[in-house]
Amino acid sequence: MVVGRRVYNLQPHEMQPGDYGLWGDYWWVYPPKEHSGPGCLKLHTVVEHEDKTITVTPSILISEDMYMKTWHGFLTKGEWNPC
């Protein structure tokens, strides 16, 4: 489990591993694995909690480039957990 960091006013390419935040009309996440890259959650359900953390369903799968650098897991109340 990795505690994520909610970010404000950052573009997706400015995010760091473990970050999540709202950019434009969509939530973006950057899983806590180096080189996994940011991903848009436009096809996911995002619940924002009173403490400003989020829970995302279903699971998040980020795949990058031909080397298949991937991350698959959950973001629950701001905590990252791999599958």
What digits encode the pLDDT tens for the residues 9-43?
Answer: 999 999 999 999 999 999 999 999 766 789 999 99
- Nearest-angstrom CA–CA distance, 17 and 34: 6
Domain count, the chain: 1
Range of the domain at 28: 2-82
- Cβ atoms of 5 and 17 within 8 Å: the answer is no
Higher pLDDT, residue 68 or 76 = 76
Coil, strand or helix at 68:
coil
Residue type, 37: G
What digits encode the pLDDT tens for the residues 45-74?
Answer: 999 999 999 999 999 998 876 666 788 999
Nearest in space to 17 (alpha carbons), one of 25, 1, 29: 29
| pLDDT over threshold 80, residue 78 | yes
